[in-house]
Structure 1
């Protein structure tokens, strides 16, 4: 299993489908879908978030990656309570990175050891969210000057972080 835990601001359903399949194919075993200030509230009503629909997308990723162990997908519609109450235990003993266009450092390559990666919505995390994550030990990192969609940013980040 991958040592990466993915915290992902809930993207639009079409993008979520692609991201779930892709991250499952590369072996991500824990995915936390988060609500943030820039997440459209209607996304939380998507039929794709039904357990059976999620499972179908994950199975497609498992088939692609020749894997059999389903990842755990956690739905967390309240950002601040998750970050303050659950994230400290999830992040304990792991390097924590938040992808943000204004990050001070470029995304590192081939990170050894367990890692938590937070990826925001289209438009990125708002400053309050970056600050809250930073207070939990997350380092802001970037992929360069160009803004990327979630379905492009996630594989680019994972490709740099993980030896595939």
Structure 2
């Protein structure tokens, strides 16, 4: 956690924002800040800067189910968040135990528009996972933002049906953007340092099937690869993003 992301929904009074238990634990156990400490903060979907920390009145006990939390006040917000990647990422829904790490990485690297889509090689049970509950998803995204010192919450859309998305929604997304399909076969080497926005489609670990590849290509996507090695989703996501839009 490299910044404390304050939620307007947690406003106590003008200029005062209550901390969450997770944030309070980090401040108490990792930063070990005392009253009056100036901490790096950001306002969700707003500016970034500094704020003054006020600890809990009775101390923080991480073992309690409900514990008192401190707050941040006297904000001085003077900096804009990092520029987002000019990318729309469409990704086949990963395995639940991989989804959290992947969402964290995607958010930290600056993706602001993400579609999680069904694929023939995505098990239907994945869509029933508790990881997909709104609270769990929001937590992953918030942690990614705090890691990267960002404030702009990504827009995430679930797409449980493949064909209607590719045929009906994708053409509009591709308007004035390059379409790239991450696929290791019959593909060109992935470009480096793109100077234009793109739509990137990333398949499941087993890859897109032939029908899906055909539909992507019919829609105007270009298949690209990173070489002969087949990588896991959590590895290939940062590899592709940093290659397409190096900082």
Q: In the alignment, which of 36, 47, 52 is matched to residue 130 of structure 2?
A: 47
Equivalence map 1:5-20=2 (5 Å):
5-20=88-103
**Cα offsets for 1:101-139 (capped at 9, x unmatched):** 114211110011111100000111001111101111100
Displacement of 1:57:
0.1
Greater per-residue strand proportion: 2
Equivalence map 1:93-132=2 (5 Å):
93-132=176-215
- CA distance in 1 between partners of 2:201 and 2:174 (Å): 11
- CA distance in 1 between partners of 2:186 and 2:235 (Å): 18
Greater per-residue helix proportion: 1
- CA distance in 1 between partners of 2:210 and 2:235 (Å): 22
Scaled by the length of structure 1, the TM-score of the pair is 0.97
Structure 1's unaligned 5+ residue stretches are none
**Cα offsets for 1:25-49 (capped at 9, x unmatched):** 0110001000000001110001111
- CA distance in 2 between partners of 1:36 and 1:73 (Å): 17
Equivalence map 1:54-93=2 (5 Å):
54-93=137-176
| Higher normalized contact order (CA 8 Å, seq sep 6+, divided by chain length) | 1
SS at match of 2:195: coil
SS at match of 1:33: strand
Aligned length: 164
- CA distance in 1 between partners of 2:106 and 2:221 (Å): 21
Q: In the alignment, which of 112, 118, 130 is matched to residue 29 of structure 1?
A: 112
Displacement of 1:52:
1.3
SS at match of 1:58: helix
SS at match of 2:111: coil
